Chain A
Amino acid sequence: MPGTRGPVPVPVQNGDGDLTLQILQAVNEHDIVKSADTFPNTSQTVIKAALDRLASRSMIEYDTKDSEEVRLTDEGQQIVAEGSHEYKVWDAVRQAGRLSLKDPVLATAAAKAGQGKAFKNKWVKKDGDALVPLTDAVTDTTRDDLQYVADHRAVRRADDLKELRKRTLVTTLKVIAYEARKGPKWALEIPVEVTDLTADMLADGSWEKATFKPYNFKALGEQSPGTGALHPLNKVREEFRKIFFNLGFTEMPTGRFVDTGFWNFDALFVPQQHPARDLQDTFYVSDPAEAGPPGPDPEADAALAAMEEEDRDEESSNQPLTAPPTRTLDYAQYYQNVRSVHQDGAFGSIGYRYPYTDAETRRLVLRTHTTAVSTYCLHRLAAHPRPCKYFSIDRVFRNETVDATHLAEFHQVEGVIADYALTLGGLQGFLRRFFKKMGLVGLKFKPAYNPYTEPSMEVFAWHQGLGKLVEIGNSGMFRPEMLLAMGLPEDLRVYGFGLSLERPTMIKYGIDNIRELLGHKVDLGFIERNAAVRLDKA
């Protein structure tokens, strides 16, 4: 239905036939038509609608005249009809010749007000307890002034207005009136209009003579039918993925919400008494009851192998020249290494020196971070240690009390870079480039604590809107206790960095409640109307 959201010429009626036609006739006769004079009894909004209808077709032009009118109050009208209060006092005294002050004629409130004015005008005077006239004829200027107001809707002398208003004889009223005249496309009738160009019009040539209905440029166009939408958070996720791909990262297989205490904590050198492992913070699984021993995950291995294959030339010319011989992964040895680095110290570390509990490693948890997956991938790397870059963006779980900034699940963005001779300044330089792609500059790094990275750096960026440094992520170099237990070579260092997907999205869009972004309470209208994500644009 073309044109339904365009100009809508609602027929404007005022009871005397089509008002627009009347306006056209009036303009034809008078050249300039003042609405207040020609259509005194038609309301201003109706007049305006009719004028707009004609003006939008350029048939007429009109100006709006704002003015202030003075109107008589009931009391004012009464004075015009009967004379002013002072006049009425004088008149009564004159007729009586001498009028007692106790006469009921002088008892009304109006008469009392009139007496003072009559004294002042020297029309009457007090003689004992009565009034006597001082003159035979008077000019009732109050009545005359009000008569002028009745005739002209204005006061005779501007100075009078205040006084008359104070005496509540007149009020003022704001009036909008219009002055209409012929426009460039003047005509006495509204021509037949077509709303759209049609195939028939093209075929019979009628488009040449047709009058097209003018378009309303102040309204929205018609909504595209059946518009689909991607979720705003996934749109941001996609931008992050593009940044990672541009920087040469491989996506990690994160398809396991349930992980083991071993992979989620122990392998990351998180001690078994660490508060993060409390029931308050981590979701434990009651069914299934217990994990199996650490071992290969065939599905994850297959996905990683398929992705690595994409980049391997048949001649294997891009194999690292210094690749050490491939070895098979010994998961039992790995477990023992982890156990002893916690309990007794190993790999140059004195360890935490506490009694290690095997049962803790077999507890099933909902992964509290995707770093559990990074750990699996890094251990796999020990079979063929080489430089690599991995990333993932997926859901993690925390047994949080839900509020405006916390949900029991959210998304973690994580990156891992392994290479020989990496430096701390290299991590800073990498993050500077990574965050610049999101428009975040002026990075500062703050020493922090994290059980599995040393050094650990919180990443801050300058926030223009807030005028201060805000934390945008966490980073560090994985601890030797974690990497050497895997069997990775000593000189292979590994960066890790991460941030939540929700937080930068909330900052970007000024959302202050995470439940408006993730979960079933998100407004569908928000999803449908959320703008495309351009992280590099402010």
Chain B
Amino acid sequence: MPTIGVNKADLYKELGKEYTRDEFDELCFEFGIELDEDTTGVEEPAQLKIEIPANRYDMLCFEGIAMNLNVFLGRQSMPNYTLKSPPSGQLETVTVSKDTAGIRQYFSCAVLRNITFTKARYESFIALQDKLHQNLARQRTLVAIGTHDLDTIQGPFTYEALPPDQIKFAPLNQTKEMTGSEMMAFYDKDKHLSRFLPIIRDSPVYPIIYDANRTVLSMPPIINSNHSKITLDTKNVFIDITATDKTKLEIVNHIIVTMFSQYCEEPFTVEPVKIVSDHNGETRETPDLTPRATQASAAYINSVCGLAESRESLCDLLKRMCYHAKPSTTDDDILEVDVPVTRADVLHQADIMEDCAIAYGFNNLPRNFPTTRAATAAALPINKLADIVRLESAMAGWAEVMPLTLCSHDENYAWLNKPDDNKAVRLANPKTAEYQIVRTSLLPGLLKTIRENRRHAVPMRIFEVSDVAFKDPALERRSRNERHFAACWYGKSAGFEQVHGLLDRVMLMLKAAFVTREDGLEGAAGVAGARYWIEGCEDPTYLSGHAAAIYLQLGGRKEAQRIGTFGILHPTVLKRFELPFPASTLELNVEVFL
């Protein structure tokens, strides 16, 4: 969620009241924003750091926060934003070249005429562009904004795409002219701008905006030209917006002009610009400030909110959330709702309904425990089974641990003397080598837990019943989890019999009877329950001759399946996990008992 810093004294002046911390906290709480920090006593002038919901682009600056809160408090009504042509009647024009289609094809534009900046307004104007670039524009990939002093440039304008070496201008705050390629090199080390370079760096053409005299306005999404930069004294602001996403292009335009047109000589007026973009059917005048007309059902709003408000009072509630709404004259349930261009977050009547609930007050809604017929209290079968194993292990004197699911490739394979069996799910973008794969065995986690607890008295007896994951190309998710049970004994002697004893105990509790391998292989005719046996096996994780495989035969079936192994850990395994004492481990798949 974005956090916006606003001047505390200015905001309270704008809201017409000197709020206490508690009062302002409460206002924020009711509206759905959050006062993160009040810097009174820390910095001068004091700021309020306010957290804004990620979809409220209309609250990313001082002007938007003040306006929305004032409307919510009923201190002002939603401004009526209008378009106003210049005195000449001649709109500025931008012609979009079809070469831009391959790199950044959408263009939008607006002019703020006779604006008066102060230091605070100017800084807010710059900060809003930054916030929009970061959030909605996804670090300028989707949308980029350039603002210019219109009195330094001369229309008509063109938006083109040219090879980098044919572009040459002095970028913002530089005096030396550079080509597109030179700028890439120049800004490569720049902490702020370097992260945007990859958006166009490898493209054969770069986006570029010229005026009638071939003076560069900007090379989006990287940098504006120094020539046309705005200052505190700028009176007429030309705003260029380029994008790869058409919807977000216009949202950005709407937010900038609605937030700052209040400082124009005639407040809340915006001068449109004609865009000529025939090749992609985007020829039009921008911005279009017409509110979106939609409808909402009063019955739906009342039903979800648990209210019985008249359509008129619902309209009053909506007014406090910046809408203009009135009861339909043709349908006695419908509200005719105008959604202002600032409210790009409103997609469905559900959003309108929520705003009614906010204006009414979430904490004023009638609360009741919902009566519902649904009442199937049931535990997931695998969890029921796992809980049996967990409880029996704990009752047998073993302590449950919860290591992580993600581990390094080495921990899961090489450190256990196991070759990569190509069964593990690998991660594409971990931040550390600790998280390379999803474990296919519970052993690494147990051994790391012992390692971190080396100061604990020995013997240590620990266990875990949890999921591992395997690749499985047959499934939609190309992988599956498997519930495993694993235990580790660690002490001055290896404890092979101890893990064996735990296995026997758990098998007893799961009603699997112990048989010898010979009896097992002979068959289980007439036996109803499950049977298990163990037989010596060679497994590189374990010391040679001190490992056993566990076989399970389910209800009367002759075929047995190998469900796990146990044994004394190989000294090389101990060494890699930095364990000075011997240890024995057990691991088996419990899903077979489902």
Contacts and interface: CB of A to CB of B under 8 A. Distances in A.
B402 interface: yes
A84 to B, nearest CB: 63
Interface stretch (B91-99, B108-116, B180-188, B354-362): B354-362
B514 interface: no
Nearest to A451: B55
Contacts of A310: 376, 378
Interface string A331-370: 0000000000000010111111111000000001010000
Interface in A235-289: 241, 244-260, 273, 275, 279, 283-288
Contact of B381 (A285, A307, A426): A307
Given A284-B429, A293-B476, A455 B354 contact: yes
B401 A417 contact: no
A315 B378 CA distance: 20
Interface string A367-394: 0000000000000000000111100000
B380 A519 contact: no
Nearest to A238: B387
B377 A520 contact: no
Given A234-B400, A446-B362, A386 B374 contact: yes
B324 interface: no
Interface in B365-394: 365-370, 372-383, 390-391, 393-394
B399 A426 contact: no
A244 B380 CA distance: 12
Interface in B422-479: 425-432, 435, 438, 445, 448-449, 451-453, 456, 460-462, 467, 469, 471, 473, 475-479
A306 B381 contact: yes
B247 A354 contact: yes
B362 A447 contact: yes
A101 interface: no
Contact of A255 (B368, B379, B449, B483): B483
Nearest to B432: A402
Interface in A280-323: 283-288, 290-295, 297, 299, 303, 306-308, 310-311, 320
Contact of B478 (A229, A231, A292, A366): A292
A128 interface: no
A288 B405 contact: no
A241 B351 CA distance: 33
A59 interface: no
Contact of A287 (B380, B383, B425, B481): B425
A508 to B, nearest CB: 17
B305 interface: yes
Contacts of B461: 226, 228
Contacts of B348: 347-350, 454, 479-481
B456 A424 contact: no
A513 interface: no
B480 A255 contact: yes
Nearest to B476: A292
Contacts of B448: 520
Nearest to B438: A257
B372 A419 contact: yes
A387 B306 contact: no
A457 B99 CA distance: 47
A418 interface: yes
B406 to A, nearest CB: 6
A421 B365 contact: no
B290 interface: no
Contacts of A441: none
A354 B245 contact: yes
B12 interface: no
Given A423-B305, A481-B348, A429 B369 contact: yes
Given A231-B402, A260-B476, A285-B428, A425 B354 contact: no
B347 A231 contact: no
Contacts of A395: 405, 467
B365 A320 contact: no
Interface residues of B, number: 100
A518 interface: yes
B54 A448 contact: no
Interface in B313-366: 345, 347-351, 353-354, 357-358, 362-363, 365-366
A426 B368 contact: yes
B538 to A, nearest CB: 28
A330 to B, nearest CB: 15
A419 B402 contact: no
A499 interface: no
A119 interface: no
Most A C-beta atoms less than 10 A away, residue of B304, B357, B378: B378
Nearest to B358: A447
Given A248-B377, A250-B376, A523-B453, A259 B477 contact: yes
Contacts of A493: 304
A418 B374 CA distance: 8
A260 B380 contact: no
B403 A520 contact: yes
Contacts of A253: 380, 382
B467 A255 contact: yes
B527 interface: no
Contacts of B351: 454
Contacts of A527: 399-401
A117 interface: no
B263 interface: no
A256 B373 CA distance: 29
A228 B397 contact: yes
A536 interface: no
B49 interface: no
A522 interface: yes
B303 interface: yes
B56 interface: yes
A228 B304 contact: no
Interface string A485-523: 000000001000000000000000000000000111111
Nearest to B348: A349
Contacts of B142: 273
B32 interface: yes
Interface string B191-228: 00000000000000000000000000000000000000
Nearest to B422: A287
B366 A444 contact: no
B24 interface: no
A233 B402 contact: yes
Interface string B8-29: 0000000000000000000001
Interface in A211-239: 225-231, 233-234
A312 B408 CA distance: 46
A387 B375 CA distance: 9
A462 interface: no
A259 B480 CA distance: 10
B414 interface: no
Interface string B284-306: 00000000100000000001111
A258 B425 contact: yes
Given A248-B376, A423-B305, A457-B362, A429 B370 contact: yes
Contacts of A258: 425, 438, 469, 477-479
B396 interface: yes
A226 B489 CA distance: 12
A280 B278 CA distance: 39
A522 B462 CA distance: 12
A366 B428 CA distance: 10
B370 A426 contact: yes
A36 interface: no
B380 A307 contact: yes
B403 A430 contact: no
Given A251-B383, A402-B432, A423-B303, 14 more contacts: A227-B397, A229-B400, A255-B481, A256-B480, A260-B476, A283-B430, A284-B428, A285-B427, A307-B379, A354-B248, A424-B365, A433-B369, A444-B29, A447-B362
Closest 4 CB pairs of A and B: A447-B32, A226-B397, A248-B375, A449-B53
7 contacts: A364-B477, A389-B376, A395-B405, A402-B432, A428-B362, A448-B53, A524-B460
